[in-house]
């Protein structure tokens, strides 16, 4: 049986977990976003990387 290849999907969630805005870790400057990723953004990113066969209903369970 062939081992499944791991895939890292780059979903960056800025402004979560840290109350500080240090110069070396400025999320706004790094990502260009000021707001957390919403569900639509995450699902769109997954569809982009996983292709048209991605089933969002299965992923939400």
pLDDT per position as a tens digit, 29-60: 777 777 777 889 888 888 888 887 777 665 54
Query: So what's the pLDDT on residue 61?
Result: 45
Residue 18 is assigned to a structural domain of this protein: yes
Place of tokens 């969002």: 56
**What local confidence, expressed as pLDDT, does residue 5 receive?**
76
Domain assignment present for residue 1? The answer is no
pTM of the model: 0.51
Write out the DSSP string of 13-47. -TTSS-----GGG-HHHHHS-SS---HHHHHHHHH
Task: Please give the pLDDT value at position 51.
Answer: 83
| Residue 19 belongs to domain spanning | 9-52
* Tally of domains within the chain: 1
DSSP type of residue 32 = S
pLDDT exceeds 60 at position 17:
yes
Determine the pLDDT at residue 2. Answer: 74
């Amino acid at each position: 049986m062939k081992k499944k290849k791991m895939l890292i999907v780059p979903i960056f969630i800025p402004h979560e977990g840290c109350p500080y805005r240090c110069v070396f870790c400025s999320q706004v400057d790094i990502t260009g976003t000021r707001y957390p990723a919403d569900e639509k953004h995450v699902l769109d990113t997954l569809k982009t990387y996983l292709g048209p066969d991605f089933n969002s209903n299965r992923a939400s369970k």
